[in-house]
Structure 1
Amino acid sequence: MFMCWRCRAVPVPDVCTRCGTEAECRFQGTDRATCLACYAAARMDTCTRCGSRGECKFAATDKAICLPCDRRPEPCSLCARLTVPRARDADGAPICWACVPQNIERCINCALPKRVNARTTVGPLCLSCSTNSPLMHRDCKRCGTRARLHLRKWCSRCYADDKLYRLLPDELIAARPALARLRERCLAADARRTLRAFRRNTTTAKLALALSRTDTLSHELLDSLGSLDEVAPVRSLLVENELLPPRDEHLVRFERWCAETAAGITNAAHRRAFERFARWRPLRQLHEQDRPVTPGQTSGRRDELRQVLSLLAWLTDRSESITQLDQARLDLWLSTGTTRRVRTAAFLRWAARNQLCPRLRVPPQRKSTLTPTGSSVEERWELLERLLHERAIDPRTRLAGVLVLLYGTRVVQLRRLRVTDITGEAGRVAIRLGADPLDLHGAIGELAVEARGHREAPRLLSDAGEDDWLFPGQYHGTSISTDALTDRLNAVGVRVRAARTGAVVSLVQELPAPVVARLTGLSTATSWAQAVAVSDGRYAARTGLFDDGGP
């Protein structure tokens, strides 16, 4: 008799076939209905191993064993390793999993001798082949679909729907009608993605807890349920379905980091100086901008504040205050660390204006020298040919690789691209990387149009469509991170640093630097042109091309 999850969860009285009383029963509605008392009594026996009386496996037989003894580690009789026995030999000696005789046969699918995981009417299957083999498919007991079943009963669609109805039952929808749209979207999503989301037990538990609370859904409620990383997928799902207002998460994370970092400073005067500077410069700059905060912005400001923290900690270790800082002490601190310590210049200027220390001089940060070496033209053309014609790769990843190989586009530029930056249709397509639009012809233009049409973004319980970012991120309203996009390009063979360098060197040799800058948004085009010219001059000097007064 089939029962849905709601009916199974509701206790239904039945007449026990053992004691005849009417009570909540196991196997209710069948000829084996047993009340809970009789069911527990039937499992009581004396353990044949330890002699104690309690709930046993194989009760009422000569193999009765209590649960602690059944799971007790024992030394394997073959390898002497202490572990829970997997099997026993004819004399009852324990045998571990590794020493159990392997059932090795030739798999009918891959034709390799492997351990048998499943047997079919045709022959044995190994573990990897039995996972997706049609021979393992059965008819779903609910919808009749022939597929690999979960719990030997339901197909993926029915199993996912059961979990969704348990997470968002009708009673909750009646109490909060706004959740009806969320449930409909989840029911229409890919069942495999839904089931993968439910395997993240912590995340789905946070979502269920947030929905079960009688409080109004708010960002403060989610903050009370766990850390920002734990509730980030839940927050993104609720914001995307308009159950929560949007919030600048990168700004919130940076504010919390500043507060937690300041709380760890033991010197009260240094802690006040750190807090005042953080509010005056980095936090004020981020609050005043009219666009969402990016991870790159917070990363640079964190590094600046870490250098300030390092200076204050150095002074504290010397039992000195920031008011005692002079040019000699500052030069000593700068000379004993990395060149990134010069990033404390803004803090020292602020401290001098607020009369916390005298006016001090910090040497300017040195710029790294451009080295015009990278992937060869042949390597880049080979990769370009592959990206333009290999349809199995996501079109957005293919477009990103093409832009890196041809125009030396930075990954930071790519992740900031929006759907509106690609204009036109097949035949005349343009993309805006710099001040002027860049025309894309032929297969590259068709690829850009195809990438613009792929709007799927991974979300909790379902896939979502993004209308803003060309490369949407994991959370609603955010673009993909620089590291994630770099990993995607590396996976298809595009080594970003070498490919960018080779592309930029080729461009500045063929076009004027101002033209390259306006079309590609490369602010260092002039510097690259000078670096290429210097490199060519050095090559000519080494080879003696101008020893006789000219070529």
Structure 2
Amino acid sequence: MLVASTEPTASSRLVVPTLCGLCSGTPRFAYICLRCGGGEEPYKQGICVRCAVRDQLARAFGDWPPGSTAAILINALAESRRPRSVMKWLTNPRGGARILRELLDAGTPVTHAVLDGFDAREAWSLRRTLVSLDVLPKRNENIERLETVLDRICAGLRPEHRSLVRAYASWRLLRRSRRSYETSGKFTYQQFHAASTRLSQIASFVSWLAMHRTTLHELDQATIERWLNDTNHAHPAVADFLHWAARRGLAPDLTLTFPRSPGPALDMTDEERWSELNRCLSDASMPEDVRTAGALLLLYGIPLARIVELTTAHLDFSDGTSQPSGFSVAPGRPAVVIPPILGRLLIGLRFRRSSYAPLISANPSDPDWLFPGCGPGGHISWTAMARRLKAHGIRVRRSRNAALIALAGDLPAPVLSDLLGMSTAAAIQWSRRAGRDWLGFINALEQRQSAARTTVRRPVSPSV
């Protein structure tokens, strides 16, 4: 087995070994596993780290028949590209190893419904791994987690309020969310967060009614005004809830007024935006994924949720070179032309070995993500990428708003909608914020004033 090199500068660069262990003077037991005969990293007592992790997996989960859920997962972990990380995963008191051990000891089948009963932060990695191994079917986690959030919120309500909030959530909120998912095929984390926040706000409202000894039937305008004085948020969610209840005769028809949203904050100047963009494109000290995501955010204003979902299939190589000349935000959308330096960053992500590589290899049928996540078969989450950007001084919302207001000032709303994949209504709103609606009026005003100033020359009559 080759373990050493004759190159004198072997420590300074990657060199292919040319000497076997005996010729290099290394004792045999220092590099060959006494159990499997392999040459992986030595662990202890003459065995390699691969054999050691197999022993720990056997002690943690026992022996299971081939083809069972436990056997498939154990074999995949035993062949992990990072055996020491598997050892750390096994000792984590709040990770998937503990959940799997509890389920196997109790003889409970591992299903999505069972995993929903555990903390989502502890079960997500185990769930994603089992889905990647085809042990569990694929599903949209955000849309499915709404049911779990509803159960958790309703558990803290009184029985009469619990049934009311559950009816509203089932027939209004969840139904609308599922219809959106069926129509678009997507339900993002932002949509999940917005829906769960609305549920929490409505639960707080009915709890406020209970604290003031008021039922929904007894609700009057004076009570609503008092609630408005006590709180300064949750108005749209509660207004929708009361409108739904009034239409079904569960509450009187009341008026709930609240100030409109002031709109997005536009506190980043063009100079600041271009400075941040230049840093993303030229600062080699920043991680490549942070530089690429920040450049896409500052240059095109693409939602971060869409940036983390980009795959190699979104890149455009129509010019015949090995470097992408553009990308599309969704299949069927026109390609957005990108500068060459951004193309180099994007193509570099394909070959970058992420420090967040999953413990097991991804399923070959999974998309080739440009921003891979910790778990197999998935991309990095929106929250994780937002934290990475913030750690390097890039604020997501501020950067995106600055990019969109600049683009809306140069591009018509239909072009903005088609290129960036946003809704037509959103594109029109951004165009209005950029002042594009006033351009036609200003041009017409200038033409009218110019016509008023024009003098009409009349023929001079001959003098007599």
Normalised by the length of structure 1, the TM-score is 0.61
| Corresponding residue for residue 4 of structure 2 | none
| Corresponding residue for residue 329 of structure 2 | 433
1:191 aligns with 2:83: yes
Report matched runs for 1:220-231 at 5 Å: 220=113, 222=115, 226-231=118-123
| Corresponding residue for residue 166 of structure 2 | 275
Report matched runs for 1:279-298 at 5 Å: 279-288=170-179, 289-290=181-182, 291=185, 293-298=187-192
The structural deviation recorded for 1:378 is 6.4
CA distance in 2, matches of 1:151, 1:420: 45
Equivalent residue in structure 2 for 1:495, among 386, 390, 395: 395
1:451 aligns with 2:345: no
Report matched runs for 1:527-542 at 5 Å: 527-533=429-435
| Corresponding residue for residue 92 of structure 2 | 200
Specify which structure has the bigger relative contact order, considering alpha-carbon pairs within 8 angstroms and separated by 6 or more residues.
2
CA distance in 2, matches of 1:263, 1:347: 19
Q: For the structure 1 residues 210 and 292, does the alpha-carbon distance in structure 2 shift closer, same or farther, using more than 3 Å as the test?
A: farther
Cα contact 1:489–1:496 (8 A) shared by 2: yes
Write 1 or 2 for the structure with the bigger share of strand: 1
Cα contact 2:312–2:350 (8 A) shared by 1: yes
| Cα deviation code 1:188-221 (max 9, x no counterpart) | 4123332332332453233344456655543355
1:257 aligns with 2:257: no
CA distance in 1, matches of 2:307, 2:38: 43
Cα contact 1:342–1:365 (8 A) shared by 2: no
Paired residue type of 2:153: T
Q: For the structure 1 residues 207 and 532, does the alpha-carbon distance in structure 2 shift closer, same or farther, using more than 3 Å as the test?
A: same
Count of residues paired in the alignment: 395
1:520 aligns with 2:420: yes
Identity between Structure 1 and Structure 2 (%): 27
1:244 aligns with 2:136: yes
Equivalent residue in structure 1 for 2:305, among 376, 393, 412: 412
CA distance in 2, matches of 1:476, 1:431: 24
CA distance in 1, matches of 2:376, 2:218: 48
The structural deviation recorded for 1:147 is 9.5
Q: For the structure 1 residues 370 and 278, does the alpha-carbon distance in structure 2 shift closer, same or farther, using more than 3 Å as the test?
A: closer
CA distance in 2, matches of 1:181, 1:310: 42
Q: For the structure 1 residues 391 and 211, does the alpha-carbon distance in structure 2 shift closer, same or farther, using more than 3 Å as the test?
A: farther
1:300 aligns with 2:200: no
The structural deviation recorded for 1:186 is 3.7
The structural deviation recorded for 1:402 is 1.3
CA distance in 1, matches of 2:54, 2:265: 57
1:483 aligns with 2:383: yes
CA distance in 1, matches of 2:189, 2:197: 12
SS in 2 for 1:322: coil
Report matched runs for 1:343-358 at 5 Å: 343-358=237-252
The structural deviation recorded for 1:421 is 2.7
Cα contact 1:438–1:519 (8 A) shared by 2: yes
Paired residue type of 1:402: A
Write 1 or 2 for the structure with the bigger share of helix: 2
Cα contact 1:415–1:479 (8 A) shared by 2: yes
Equivalent residue in structure 2 for 1:380, among 274, 297, 306: 274
Cα contact 2:277–2:299 (8 A) shared by 1: no
CA distance in 2, matches of 1:140, 1:402: 45
SS in 1 for 2:86: helix
CA distance in 1, matches of 2:313, 2:152: 39
SS in 2 for 1:142: coil
CA distance in 2, matches of 1:190, 1:502: 41
CA distance in 2, matches of 1:495, 1:270: 39
CA distance in 1, matches of 2:156, 2:232: 23
Report matched runs for 1:8-27 at 5 Å: none
SS in 2 for 1:320: coil
Q: For the structure 1 residues 186 and 365, does the alpha-carbon distance in structure 2 shift closer, same or farther, using more than 3 Å as the test?
A: farther
The structural deviation recorded for 1:283 is 1.8
CA distance in 1, matches of 2:315, 2:70: 35
Q: For the structure 1 residues 251 and 514, does the alpha-carbon distance in structure 2 shift closer, same or farther, using more than 3 Å as the test?
A: closer
| Cα deviation code 1:485-509 (max 9, x no counterpart) | 1112223443334433443344344
Q: For the structure 1 residues 352 and 177, does the alpha-carbon distance in structure 2 shift closer, same or farther, using more than 3 Å as the test?
A: closer
Task: Point out the structure with max Rg over C-alpha.
Answer: 1
Cα contact 2:359–2:375 (8 A) shared by 1: no
Deviates more, 1:439-448 or 1:451-460: 451-460
The structural deviation recorded for 1:404 is 1.4
The structural deviation recorded for 1:281 is 0.8
Q: For the structure 1 residues 200 and 292, does the alpha-carbon distance in structure 2 shift closer, same or farther, using more than 3 Å as the test?
A: farther
Unaligned runs of 5+ in 1: 1-137, 538-551
Unaligned runs of 5+ in 2: 1-28, 440-464
CA distance in 1, matches of 2:109, 2:384: 35
CA distance in 2, matches of 1:457, 1:240: 19
Normalised by the length of structure 2, the TM-score is 0.71
The structural deviation recorded for 1:441 is 3.9
| Corresponding residue for residue 547 of structure 1 | none
Report matched runs for 1:55-66 at 5 Å: none
Paired residue type of 1:433: V
SS in 1 for 2:326: strand
CA distance in 1, matches of 2:238, 2:91: 46
- The CA RMSD over aligned residues, in Å, is 3.9
